[in-house]
Structure 1
Amino acid sequence: MKIGFTCYPTHGGSGVIATELGKLLAERGHDIHFITYDMPFRLGGFQQNIFYHEVEVSRYSLFKYPPYDLTLASRMAQVAKLYELDLLHVHYAVPHAISAYLAKQMVGEHLKVVTTLHGTDITVLGDDPTLHNIICFGMKQSDAVTAVSENLKQQTQELFNPDLEIDRIYNFVDQRIYHPRNVRYLKDNYVCPDEKLIIHISNFREVKRPHDVIKVFDQIQKALPARLLLVGQGPEWSAIHELVRSLNLTDRVHFLGRQDDVSQFMSIADLLLLPSAKESFGLVALEAMACGVPTIGSRIGGIPEVVIHGETGYLAELGDVNEMAKYAINILQNDSTHQLFVQNGLHRVDQEFRADRIVDQYEALYERVLGEK
């Protein structure tokens, strides 16, 4: 198959999954064409069967804002015609599904469109009355729509149309990259032998509740020797620095900033904190689980579909930092429980979220859609 991929090429989960899916499909012999405004950060370097087509937005004095969605549609149509694409797989409903619909109108009905919903386009933008109808239109005009969790699928149907057909296809993890590693030498850079290492990875937006991360860690380090790794960067970065300073935790918290390869940092951690207010799936929890790291998270969105409470980690009500801290201390002080959760997590990854299993599902979806030509 010849497939065009469009995603946001930044460090968000949707861009990660889209890029990794494209790479795995290319390994299976499919031609994958990424059509985005920048090179996806997980792509990099030459790879067989993968092509990148930049979307360059021209600026005219007539336009107050550059018309990216129209330029994207034109580029999609151009690439589809030139390389005889079979379908466009777009990640996020707006503007990508709308641009793909316009491209299809330019190229012809033989070009199919698959739209994958990752969360923000539904849980945040879907509540915006100025965007509601256009999101709904984009989904209805797609030849197939997928959601990355059952929770997101249900939310989408409730918000837009209970009869909307949506395939739930979970996110996945490439176990060649995310797996337990013996990286004690790296861990020794951050902790002493008797200390536990906690990790949090996010874009440090308010919805990720990084303040809760610090409050939970503060209780943890009072109960046992521990340090915290903070990976990522975002709007709350400065405020978190100030909170760490005010709690006298400066020497126990390491700010690592944005990292392209987080798997090595996952592997040295003993526990992941994920107290988010919104998570349609919780990819970082899956990546941690694949590296043998249990998660303490919020019981919201798609997280309970990834983290099984009392088996692979613990879940608490949103904002309940005391409960999260209690669970964290319990698992960190009990080696047998920690090891059981590690093994349960690795088994769950292998059974439910293995890359080849999920890629099989996408291939089957593509074949179904193309069979409708």
Structure 2
Amino acid sequence: MRVGLLTREYPPDVYGGAGVHVEFLARELSALVDLAVHSWGEGRADGVVRHRPWSALDGANDALRTFSVDLAMAAGLEDRELVHSHTWYANLAGHFAKLLHGVPHIMTAHSLEPLRPWKAEQLGGGYALSSWAERTAIESADAVIAVSGAMREDILGCYPALDKDRVHVVHNGIDTALYRPDPATDVLERIGLDLERPYVLFVGRITRQKGVDHLLRAVRGIDPAAQVVLCAGAPDTPEIDREFRELFQELGHARAGLHWIPQMLPRGEVIQLLTHAAVFVCPSVYEPLGIVNLEAMACGTPVVASRVGGIPEVVAHGESGLLVDVDDDFEKSLATALDTVLADPAAGRRMGTAGRARAVGEFGWDAIARRTARLYGDVLEQA
């Protein structure tokens, strides 16, 4: 079975959950199918073909530049029997390949443009183009993979013309041999953390979706003994970056022990930070699954997260962490939940142990790749 996997992010250029998903899915799928990965970037090696936006569009709207990559990807898929795209950045490439080469197109929805209206702030008129690309691809795909049950409901709600029998749930996964507790503390010491004080950890992009602004306001009043560590970068727009910096500066005047790491850290360093955190926090206002919560759980760390999208399918409330409703009291409730975990380290350790067991038992990438390959076979049989 010759499969083309289409993505914007692929190592070493991974900045979000979709990129992590594709990286590990490709690793496992390569043992099950003849896999060719097409991603953004430069060069060609080891089954990976990289494409860059056309130079004629340098300085143009990002959506137009994305479409130029999609056209290049589609042109390079003539030897594939099936194509599988991830995110709107590659969905149109899958749709074009379906039409051009007469092959089935499967797409994985990691998020949905209609549920991310703040993207208009980033893309301008390109948001209308990204929304059109997603709708065109999703309504024409031979199968759609949702990364959670909640995501499946969102897909069918946003795209009612889609046949519900074509939408399949295959969860995100986690490599629990890689993401596991790391007892070393050299990274913490280099950052300047006080090893005698607990810390709250956030890892994610500076974007409306991730709710970083809510977190910065919520932690103003939490236990002053706790440090706050923000691994936060890749702001969507200069305006969002400026807003984050202003809130961070205000927070710095209100409490000590505040650390901001704006650059992408190597995975091993993130694992060490996750391991030693008293609590990991995910304040997203929209999250189809939230793979970063799985990463924290696999490292044995309790999670405080918003009760949105697929997060409740990952974080078991009261067992592996605490869930908070995104409502008018969101920031206050977030602070209360963080203080609850910080005040009872023994309970936090129990939740961390339960989270690790849940990640190992239910979210292994090998099983997810097998389910994905089975879907490929089913789609090809029906084609």
Q: TM-score range by the shorter chain?
A: 0.7 to 0.9
Percent identity over the alignment is: 23
Kindly state the Cα deviation for residue 137 of structure 1 after the two structures are TM-superposed: 3.3
Residue pair 1:148, 1:170 contacting (<8 A) in 2 also: yes
Q: Is 2:179 aligned against 1:169?
A: no
Which has the larger displacement, 236-245 or 284-293?
236-245
In 2, Cα distance between equivalents of 1:242 and 1:67: 32
Q: Is 2:80 aligned against 1:88?
A: no
Instruction: Evaluate the alpha carbon distance shift between residue 69 and residue 342 of structure 1 in structure 2; reply closer, same or farther with a 3 A threshold.
Output: closer
Q: Is 2:99 aligned against 1:120?
A: no
- How do 1:322-337 and structure 2 match up within 5 A? 322-337=332-347
Aligned letter for 1:136? Answer: R
Residue pair 1:4, 1:33 contacting (<8 A) in 2 also: yes
Q: Is 2:355 aligned against 1:361?
A: no
Kindly state the Cα deviation for residue 130 of structure 1 after the two structures are TM-superposed: 7.1
In 1, Cα distance between equivalents of 2:349 and 2:44: 37
- How do 1:184-203 and structure 2 match up within 5 A? 184-189=185-190, 190-203=192-205
**What is the match of residue 262 of structure 2?**
257
Q: Is 2:315 aligned against 1:307?
A: yes
Instruction: Evaluate the alpha carbon distance shift between residue 69 and residue 188 of structure 1 in structure 2; reply closer, same or farther with a 3 A threshold.
Output: closer
- How do 1:48-197 and structure 2 match up within 5 A? 50-59=47-56, 67-68=64-65, 71-81=68-78, 84-92=79-87, 94=88, 96-107=90-101, 109=102, 111-124=103-116, 135-161=134-160, 163-164=163-164, 165-189=166-190, 190-197=192-199
In 2, Cα distance between equivalents of 1:183 and 1:64: 44
Residue pair 2:39, 2:48 contacting (<8 A) in 1 also: no
In 1, Cα distance between equivalents of 2:85 and 2:167: 15
SS at match of 1:293: coil
Residue pair 2:83, 2:106 contacting (<8 A) in 1 also: yes
The count of corresponding residues between Structure 1 and Structure 2 is 358
Kindly state the Cα deviation for residue 67 of structure 1 after the two structures are TM-superposed: 4.8
Kindly state the Cα deviation for residue 17 of structure 1 after the two structures are TM-superposed: 0.9
Deviations 1:45-70 (A, max 9, x none): 97xx5322324414179x98885465
Q: Quick one: higher RCO (CA 8 Å, sep 6+), 1 or 2?
A: 2
- How do 1:196-275 and structure 2 match up within 5 A? 196-222=198-224, 225-233=225-233, 234=235, 235=237, 236-247=240-251, 248-249=253-254, 251-259=256-264, 260-261=266-267, 262-275=270-283
SS at match of 1:59: helix
Instruction: Evaluate the alpha carbon distance shift between residue 55 and residue 316 of structure 1 in structure 2; reply closer, same or farther with a 3 A threshold.
Output: same
SS at match of 1:332: helix
Residue pair 2:148, 2:171 contacting (<8 A) in 1 also: yes
Deviations 1:182-206 (A, max 9, x none): 1233334443343101111121113
Deviations 1:252-297 (A, max 9, x none): 1111113242323222322111112111111111111111111111
Aligned letter for 1:241? Answer: R
Instruction: Evaluate the alpha carbon distance shift between residue 66 and residue 282 of structure 1 in structure 2; reply closer, same or farther with a 3 A threshold.
Output: closer
Kindly state the Cα deviation for residue 240 of structure 1 after the two structures are TM-superposed: 3.3
Kindly state the Cα deviation for residue 314 of structure 1 after the two structures are TM-superposed: 0.6
Instruction: Evaluate the alpha carbon distance shift between residue 320 and residue 141 of structure 1 in structure 2; reply closer, same or farther with a 3 A threshold.
Output: closer
**What is the match of residue 370 of structure 1?**
380
Deviations 1:192-244 (A, max 9, x none): 3431011111211133222322233222233xx22111112114444333333
Aligned letter for 2:106? Answer: V
In 2, Cα distance between equivalents of 1:55 and 1:212: 35
Which has the larger displacement, 296-305 or 128-137?
128-137
Aligned-residue RMSD, C-alpha: 2.9
**What is the match of residue 352 of structure 2?**
342
Instruction: Evaluate the alpha carbon distance shift between residue 339 and residue 274 of structure 1 in structure 2; reply closer, same or farther with a 3 A threshold.
Output: same
Kindly state the Cα deviation for residue 122 of structure 1 after the two structures are TM-superposed: 4.6
Residue pair 1:183, 1:268 contacting (<8 A) in 2 also: no
In 2, Cα distance between equivalents of 1:70 and 1:212: 34
Deviations 1:85-119 (A, max 9, x none): 22111012x35333322222222x2x221100011
Aligned letter for 1:85? Answer: R
SS at match of 2:199: strand
SS at match of 1:202: strand
Instruction: Evaluate the alpha carbon distance shift between residue 203 and residue 219 of structure 1 in structure 2; reply closer, same or farther with a 3 A threshold.
Output: same
In 2, Cα distance between equivalents of 1:238 and 1:347: 40
